[in-house]
Amino acid sequence: MALTTAVPTASRSRVGSERQAARRQWWGRFALRWVVLAVLITLWQVATVAFPSPFFPQPARIFERAALLWFPGANGMLTPSMQSDVLPSLGRMLLGFSLSVVVAVALGTVIGLSRKVGDYIDPIIQFLRAVPPPALLPIFLVLFGTGDQMRVLLIAFGTAWPILLNTIEGVRSIEELKYETATVFRIGFVGRLTRIVLPGAAPKILAGVRTSLSLALILMVISEMVAASSGIGFSIVQAQRGFGFLDMWAGIVLLGIIGFLLNTVLTLIERRILGWQRSSGRETA
Amino acid sequence: MTAVATRPVQRRVSTKVTRGLTGVAVLLVLAESVSRFGIVPANILPPVSRVLSDTFGLLVDPEFLGDVGSTLTAWAVGLGMAIIVAVPLGLVLGSFRIAYEASSAVVEFMRPIPSVALIPLAILVFGQGTDMKIALVVYASLWPIFFNTVYGVRDVDPVAKETARTFRLSRIGILARVSLPYAAPLAATGVRISAAIALIVTISAELLAGSASGIGAYILRISSGGGDTSLVFAGTIVAGLIGVVVNLVLVAVERKMFAWKKEGVA
């Protein structure tokens, strides 16, 4: 972060070497990360061998089990658990999450632009966002039944608040000067929206999206643990009730991997969208 | 000068309040009429007036208050333990580059595991009671507090540290008197984020584990007993109110404790 600031008149070679140093640092961090992971898994393995417990199987066996359950075999076909649990889970989550992003950004932009609208619905928003989303599960069950519709809507509802609030804040933080400039250049409403409001609010919006992503995963799992017949959450609960501790752990590990991958994808998207901004990262949420 | 300036501010605040109340009133009337006129059956969406009176009923119902107490106990104990572990850990690990890089790698691998996925495991290890809830709350609220503390420590002004070193403060002295005050506001933000997550996790655990007591357990008891939907709504509203109050209190505490922050650090 500090590396990219203020090298106005430095010679080209110096910029080059700095870039090289940055790259070396990045590789160092990358290597360290995987070394740490390897050490961690080794420790876990040693601990489970040294202190055997039925609840904590060896990681080697967990990974073996996970590979068996979800990796396509030699024939390249999707495994049954992949088809019946993982894909439906991901589908529900992505559907609910995209619904939430679209609605929350649209609504947040409207509220952010108009103080009046904001004043009218602010207390309602403050209350609804404070309700712990899992507490809504029984209500959503009553309102929408036990099908996928309920799960998608619960995910959408629960994840909307961080995005909505951040969008409002981001839109409100845009300086008046930018709108005045737009007026001078006779840029219309749509132009303002796409060229000033949304880009200006983007860093905040994406920070909200990041917070919501982990919520989406939580809601996906919990909604599948109640009255479901498929999904990763369902398979974990089934495994636990049937004393299939390997399967249960395999599910937990899979969720960790999915969370990690989703976060990585989001970081890439963030970098692409916010590439024009110099110091965009480091949100604390 | 100030007298002139406050008057428009006051007017602004009062229009804000009026508008807010209007918004709430419109929503309530709308929801009431939706169920009164049978657009949505009353057993699915009970009339607001009944939900509200049930909410007030719950607030004086000793049985339900016991549930609230059980939830809040697990929440507070878990959050307190997470603070005790995460803040010192963040202070130390944030101070050393290698330790920071290594720990951020660990965090990156542990954090994506959604805490609710661990509920079945926690039930096996800790049973269905308070211990299980506390363990989950500790796990879930550890990360935001730890992360924010580390960020805060990384941001400590090097000059302040050098100065402390010049005055021959020991390493621990620097941690306690320079790094901790510097990182405290961010750590407090972490606590606020964790407080909300902890409430989510506690109630989830109660819903899923079939705990004997807790707000989640109450909601589950009522809804699975084929009971009154209105009471389910009321229980959820109380959960929301607790969320609002917790957030307000923590924001106020932050403001009071770190009022100095506005002048010194930007």
* Predicted pLDDT of residue A146: 84
Contacts of A236 in chain B (CB under 8 A): 117, 120
A193 and A135, same domain (yes or no): yes
* Predicted pLDDT of residue A56: 87
Task: Kindly report, residue by residue over B152-201, the tens digit of the pLDDT.
Answer: 888 788 888 888 888 888 888 888 888 888 888 888 888 988 998 899 89
A78 and A148, same domain (yes or no): yes
Cβ of A226 under 8 Å from any chain B Cβ?
A: yes
Kindly give, in sequence order, each residue whose CB lies less than 8 Å from that of residue A279, ignoring residues fewer than 6 positions away. A1, A4, A5
A91 and A189, same domain (yes or no): yes
A104 and A225, same domain (yes or no): yes
Q: Give residue A33's domain range.
A: 10-52
CATH code: domain of residue A116: 1.10.3720.10
Supply the mean pLDDT for chain B. 84
How far apart are the CA of A45 and the nearest CA of chain B, in angstroms? 16
Residues recorded for chain A? 285
Residue A21 maps to a domain: yes
How many independent structural domains does chain A possess? 2
A200 and A81, same domain (yes or no): yes
Of all residues in chain B, the percent with pLDDT exceeding 70 is: 94
A18 and A77, same domain (yes or no): no
Contact between A225 and B109 using a beta-carbon 8 Å cutoff: no
Residue A160 maps to a domain: yes
CA neighbor of B177 nearest in space, from B154, B155, B160? B160
Residue A228 phi/psi, 5° resolution? -115, 165
Instruction: For domain B48-262, give its CATH number from 3.40.190.10, 1.10.3720.10, 1.10.1200.10, 3.20.20.20.
Output: 1.10.3720.10
Contact between A36 and B110 using a beta-carbon 8 Å cutoff: no
The more confident residue out of B17 and B44 is B17
How far apart CA A103 and CA A106 sit, in angstroms, is 5
How far apart are the CA of B240 and the nearest CA of chain A, in angstroms? 4
A112 and A170, same domain (yes or no): yes
A136 and A225, same domain (yes or no): yes
Regions of chain A with pLDDT less than 50: 1-10, 279-285
* Predicted pLDDT of residue B1: 45
A164 and A197, same domain (yes or no): yes
For chain A, the helix, strand and coil percentages under 3-state DSSP, each to the nearest 5: 80, 0, 20
Q: What mean pLDDT is predicted for residues B243-250?
A: 89
Domain ranges, ordered by start, for chain B:
48-262
Residue A57 maps to a domain: no
Cβ of A121 under 8 Å from any chain B Cβ?
A: yes
Task: Kindly report, residue by residue over B49-88, the tens digit of the pLDDT.
Answer: 888 898 999 888 898 999 999 999 999 999 999 999 999 9
How far apart CA B67 and CA B203 sit, in angstroms, is 11
How far apart are the CA of A256 and the nearest CA of chain B, in angstroms? 4
Residue A2 maps to a domain: no
* Predicted pLDDT of residue A10: 46
Q: The pTM is what?
A: 0.82
Residue A212 maps to a domain: yes
Q: Measured between alpha carbons, how far is residue B265 from residues A22, A241, B3, B19 in Å?
A: 28, 53, 29, 35
ipTM over 0.90: no
**Is the predicted pLDDT of residue B4 greater than 60, yes or no?**
no
- Identify the three-state secondary structure at position A114: coil
A171 and A249, same domain (yes or no): yes
A79 and A183, same domain (yes or no): yes
* Predicted pLDDT of residue B78: 95
Task: Kindly report, residue by residue over A107-119, the tens digit of the pLDDT.
Answer: 999 998 888 888 8
A30 and A102, same domain (yes or no): no
